[in-house]
Amino acid sequence: MKIPKILTNSRISEINGLLQQMIGEYKKGDYTADAYLSPAFEQLIAQNNQLGIAIMRDSAESELAELDEISDNEVTLTHGLIKGYTCHPDQSKADAAAILFKMVDKYGLEVKNKSYREEYPLLASMISECKTETNAACIAQLDGCAERFNRLEAAVNNFTTRQNTYLLVKDDEKDMTSATEIKKQLIGFINEELATYLNVMQKVKADVYGGLAQFVANRISESNSAVRNRRNKTETVE
């Protein structure tokens, strides 16, 4: 069976999984005497490891966005709760809310639209301000307000902790190629070089290369089929 070409619209995760299968099968054999295949798979192993790291990096960025959404929601709820209390019929509560709202509104809902680098120091500052003696006394007068600030603080801390971890990894990998580019390089190398080589060698030395070539052909066919089915499903829905 001739090895088909990998569809270029395969997902990054699909290419990563496909390569893991191919590498696993390659390692079952002994191709150390092959001056081409051994270096070729060493290259694939290195690039697929980079792809795995790039996928994790992209996943971390997605996680930060989700945590930021939680923080933004807490900002909105805290702002809304305090603003509502400014209209409370109990004047003492309304006065306490007015003091708090002046502090919170200084940061405004617009803080949610700022970059992470700007937003989180500002939120940390607001949380710090809410703990001053005057503001803490006001919070104590308003039911649910302390819990609201606690939830906001927890959300900000969760984001900041995850962001610090992400930035450390990002600094270590600042020169790393993007997952999209690595995927493109892998597909190009397999389609234009590795598949061509194995297609020839399985005819010349079927006993040595036939099993590996057949395995690669089957896995690529399965991957391509999944891509086509997904595309057909999307077209049907549309």
List pLDDT tens digits, range 64-118.
999 999 999 999 999 999 999 999 999 999 999 999 999 999 999 999 999 999 9
Whose tokens are 């061509």? That residue is 196
* Band of residue 235 on the pLDDT scale cut at 50, 70, 90: very low
Confidence class of residue 217 from pLDDT cuts 50, 70 and 90? very high
Query: What is the sign of the dihedral through the CA atoms of 185, 190, 193 and 194?
Result: positive
Instruction: Please give the pLDDT value at position 237.
Output: 34
Give the predicted TM-score (pTM) of the model: 0.62
CA distance 92 to 40: 76
Calpha distance 29→213 (Å, rounded): 12
Residue 234 has pLDDT above 70, yes or no: no
Averaged pLDDT, 197-206: 94
- 236 confidence band (pLDDT: 50, 70, 90): very low
